[in-house]
Amino acid sequence: MHEFRVNAGLTSDGEGREVVEMLAEHPDLWDVNISDYRSDSGTSRFFPEGSQEQYTDFVKGVTSKPVVGVGRYTSPDTMVSTIKRGVLDLIGAARPSIADPFLPNKIDTGREDEIRECIGCNICRATFKACSPIRCTQNPTMGEEYRRGWHPDRIAAKKSDEPVLIIGSGPAGLECAMALGDRGYDVTMAETRTEPGGHIAQAARLPGFAAWGRVRDYRMTRIEKMANVQVYMESCMGQSEIIEFGCSRVVLAIGSKWRADGVGRSNITAIDGCPGPGVLTPEDVFSGVKISDPVIIFDDEHYYMGGALAEKLTNEGHDVTLVKTAPEPCVWARQTDEHHMITPHLHEIGVKIIVSHNLCRFDGEEVHLQFAYRGAQQSLPCQTLILTTSRTPNRALYDKMLDDISRTDDQTALSITRIGDCLAPGLTADAIYGGHRFAEELDTPDGAVTVNRERIVLGTPNHSSTQREP
């Protein structure tokens, strides 16, 4: 599906191959890759595993020197196959090593099923470009090895025998359950739906996003091997069921929901006609709600969801127009180095795009738009309006339980904590980090959590370069 976007403008024929052939035996080693960072570190949405092989596989045939290459190799099976087929002698795996620093050791010792396989989301690239500490969706300990003392594959043993009840099996809940299980806690995780994964299970069904399902698959594979972690699907637990269960420590990882009123970056109050008949959210689309043409997707979030839904619905034969408040589609994807492919692809598959316009009103038959710079307005026919503007935490259960607890004399009978999107909607990397942090810090006394800072603090003895702060 995405091959033409990878190939466009790239070739190793002609002078590229001739140069390698002329210099074949001169270097000590050949390190081969293609193009700039945007292709060299392509996302899984647009670059299949081993995507550079078609350009570099000739090199081994023209030189006797070792050949090193890259190409978004993430699977140990693909890596081993690439070596055995004589394509490369050594594989460079930067992003896979961020996701799992012990990937080579796990392959060497036959622990392939323990590998945290890179999902190719490029959140690592986004944080690198922002000059902020590097992050990883799959590996929440990335960047925290020194600051918080977190180890990618080791975690401290439990400090109590108190069990934990987790409501929700999205990214935060899964990470929390897995990490608590590693510590030795008895964990029960309840999920309302028929499958685990939360929003990531939905995202993985979007065109090009299948690799994101590894967030769920890696954690479920680990959890299923833990005798101290029990998972119950299709188990809806409200306040009475939670109290009846009798666990004193409850973690709410029940995610967030897309707003149906249009409130977001550009609108601080509800858009006229929203919510209302014909107005849908991404959750509605994933649940199979009937969609009538023409479809307008109003995207004020600027990451992947608006464009991905436009691609999905266009592939299904719908007449789709993507309306953006930003001057370009999916502009935040510049951070993940895929914006330059998203925009032309949407045009090529037939998505109509209107940029720099805000949604003023929806009357059930037309959307009324306003140009961001001069106030000019236009109307478009619309039977289905899909909003990707912002999300709100699912906190009704939390608020109700806190209110009831405050009315009782016993203030210590139940501990309730929100994690992930249920606390603050964000990136999947944020949700997983939140789940892991709860697991790491459980039963740590107040004030005992410290963070190392790599900086010189003037006035301290010996000008120590490390300061520990709460």
Give the confidence band of 6 by pLDDT, cuts at 50, 70, 90.
very low
Which pLDDT value is given to residue 469? 40
Residue ranges per structural domain of the chain: 3-92, 164-255+394-451, 258-392
Which pLDDT value is given to residue 409? 66
User: Is domain 164-255+394-451 given the CATH code 3.30.70.3270 in the classification?
Assistant: no
Give the confidence band of 115 by pLDDT, cuts at 50, 70, 90.
very high
- Mean pLDDT over residues 87-104, rounded? 94
Which pLDDT value is given to residue 457? 63
User: Do the domains 258-392 and 164-255+394-451 match in fold?
Assistant: no
| Tokens coding 463 | 């000008």
Q: Is the dihedral of CA 61, 62, 67, 69 positive or negative?
A: negative
The yes-or-no verdict on residue 13 having pLDDT over 80 is: no
Instruction: Return d(Cα 98, Cα 232) in angstroms, integer.
Output: 32
Higher confidence at residue 278 or residue 448?
278
Which pLDDT value is given to residue 37? 72
The yes-or-no verdict on residue 405 having pLDDT over 70 is: yes
Which pLDDT value is given to residue 244? 93
pTM of the model: 0.91
- Mean pLDDT over residues 243-253, rounded? 95
- Mean pLDDT over residues 272-283, rounded? 97
The yes-or-no verdict on residue 79 having pLDDT over 60 is: yes
- Across the chain, mean pLDDT equals 91
Which pLDDT value is given to residue 468? 41
Give the confidence band of 260 by pLDDT, cuts at 50, 70, 90.
very high
CATH class of 258-392: alpha beta
- Mean pLDDT over residues 317-333, rounded? 95
Which pLDDT value is given to residue 8? 53
Which pLDDT value is given to residue 205? 97
∠ at Cα 62 (61, 63), nearest 5°? 100
Higher confidence at residue 457 or residue 359?
359
Which pLDDT value is given to residue 309? 98
| Tokens coding 103 | 């990937």
Which pLDDT value is given to residue 5? 44
- Mean pLDDT over residues 167-180, rounded? 98
The yes-or-no verdict on residue 463 having pLDDT over 50 is: no
- Mean pLDDT over residues 217-235, rounded? 97
The yes-or-no verdict on residue 466 having pLDDT over 80 is: no
Q: Is the dihedral of CA 356, 131, 391, 333 positive or negative?
A: positive
Give the confidence band of 464 by pLDDT, cuts at 50, 70, 90.
very low
Higher confidence at residue 297 or residue 9?
297
- Mean pLDDT over residues 83-107, rounded? 94
Which pLDDT value is given to residue 460? 55
| Tokens coding 330 | 């999916």
* Inter-residue contact 182 to 151 (CB < 8 Å): no
- Mean pLDDT over residues 321-329, rounded? 95
- Mean pLDDT over residues 168-172, rounded? 98
- Mean pLDDT over residues 372-377, rounded? 87
